[in-house]
Structure 1
Amino acid sequence: MRHMIRGRQLSRDTEHRKALRRNLAQSLFEHGKIRTTLPKAKEVRAFVEKLITLARQNNLNNRRRVIQLMQDRRLVDDEQEFTGQTVIQKLFDEIGPAFADRAGGYTRIIKTSDFRIGDGGDIVVLQLITVDAAPTGTARRTAGLRRKRNERRRLFASRSLKKTDAKPEAAAEAKAEPQA
């Protein structure tokens, strides 16, 4: 029985699960949104909500509690240069005050139509509410596996036919130009 056992196992041992949760939370605070699977997003969401609740009040005790739960790492810019700021500093200086008047629900999970090729895992976007971004992907259709494969084959065949039809015309135009 699983009485009073909380959280998802995610097919990992305890240390790996904690590290995964910590790294995903740091990436979410750094970038504002991350792409991951649905079970991981649900697990990280609860962890992130608790951290943001602590970061709303910027005092030493809350800062120490957040550092205890999540090791700190330095932030980098687009060129992979260090910005001089850490994830904890960004959490307490920018993200926490942004949610000061909000009672909860700091993140949203947006389901996309993408899935992993290897195991078919659902890919979702986990983002902070402050980041206003349109959902990526299209609405998911509930087509059977055979129908999906057949659609992909038809799309691939039509694309390859268009490419082969375009090549002889381009070759004929190329031959006609040097003669003129």
Structure 2
Amino acid sequence: MPTPTKGARLGGGSAHERAILANLATSLFEHGRITTTLTRAKRVQPLAERLITKAKRGDLHARRQVSAVIRNKTPRRWDGEGDAYTIVHHLFTDLAPKFAERNGGYTRITKVGTRKGDNAQLAVIELVLEPVSAKQAVVREAAGATKRAAKEQASDESAAIEPTAEAAVEAPEPADAGAEDKAAE
């Protein structure tokens, strides 16, 4: 069988690779940051961001899609009052509202050096839980206001340029228009 050409493989087969990525994503959502090899971090980042986007939707279908990837059914997190809940519940109730203002870029990869045993490049992948800066929110709001003003101005100008059919019928003919035609001859 020829070697697959779809990029670096993490495990022996595709099923093993899916299991590795699911376990990495589960650990990332459970702990908020994990240290792994750079290759694994780069491979789990798109998966984690897709799962967060689905969690932001918050509907039942999205919850079932996330549960198909994150197969952790046993309670792993506690809220401090003795109630345990699953990672999927933690993702939908705690993490998704924190990412409500963010339109992507939910994770960050930072290189941290090499591993001593095999000299593999290590990286930390973490969730970006900082709120979107106020400056970015103001810039986004100003850009939206500029677009709205340009759209309103364009609609006002088009209304002023194109008179309605009623206005064309009611507009009287200038009295000296005939005099100008005779003077031109």
Report the TM-score range of the alignment, normalised by the length of the smaller protein. 0.5 to 0.7
**Gaps (5+ residues) in structure 1?**
133-180
Deviation readout 1:107-146 (Å, 9 max, x if unpaired) = 0001113x222221011110000169xxxxxxxxxxxxxx
- Given the superposition, is the C-alpha separation of residues 130 and 11 from structure 1 closer, same or farther in structure 2, using an over 3 Å criterion? same
Give the secondary-structure state (helix, strand or coil) at the position aligned to 1:72: coil
Deviation readout 1:137-169 (Å, 9 max, x if unpaired) = xxxxxxxxxxxxxxxxxxxxxxxxxxxxxxxxx
Which residue identity lines up with residue 95 of structure 1 in the other structure?
L
The Cα of 1:7 is off from its aligned counterpart by 5.4
Match of 1:124 in 2: 123
- Given the superposition, is the C-alpha separation of residues 97 and 11 from structure 1 closer, same or farther in structure 2, using an over 3 Å criterion? same
The Cα of 1:69 is off from its aligned counterpart by 2.1
Higher Cα Rg: structure 1 or 2?
2
> CA–CA distance in 2 between the matches of 1:102 and 1:20?
27
Match of 1:155 in 2: none
The Cα of 1:106 is off from its aligned counterpart by 0.2
Match of 1:49 in 2: 49
Deviation readout 1:65-94 (Å, 9 max, x if unpaired) = 1112221242146xxxx8511000000001
- Given the superposition, is the C-alpha separation of residues 31 and 131 from structure 1 closer, same or farther in structure 2, using an over 3 Å criterion? farther
Which residue identity lines up with residue 107 of structure 2 in the other structure?
T
Match of 2:25 in 1: 25
Deviation readout 1:13-72 (Å, 9 max, x if unpaired) = 122111111111011001100000000000010100000000001110110111122212
Aligned 8 A contact 1:7 1:43 in 2: no
Task: Tell which deviates more after alignment, 68-77 or 11-20.
Answer: 68-77
- Given the superposition, is the C-alpha separation of residues 44 and 64 from structure 1 closer, same or farther in structure 2, using an over 3 Å criterion? same
> CA–CA distance in 1 between the matches of 2:85 and 2:97?
17
Is 1:75 aligned to residue 76 of structure 2?
yes
Which residue identity lines up with residue 52 of structure 1 in the other structure?
I
- Given the superposition, is the C-alpha separation of residues 46 and 7 from structure 1 closer, same or farther in structure 2, using an over 3 Å criterion? farther
Which residue identity lines up with residue 37 of structure 1 in the other structure?
T
> CA–CA distance in 1 between the matches of 2:11 and 2:19?
13
TM-score, normalising length: structure 1:
0.63
> CA–CA distance in 2 between the matches of 1:52 and 1:39?
21
Which residue identity lines up with residue 75 of structure 1 in the other structure?
R
Aligned length: 126
> CA–CA distance in 1 between the matches of 2:27 and 2:8?
20
The Cα of 1:6 is off from its aligned counterpart by 4.8
Give the secondary-structure state (helix, strand or coil) at the position aligned to 1:9: coil
Match of 2:106 in 1: 106
Which residue identity lines up with residue 67 of structure 2 in the other structure?
I
Match of 1:161 in 2: none
Aligned 8 A contact 2:29 2:87 in 1: yes
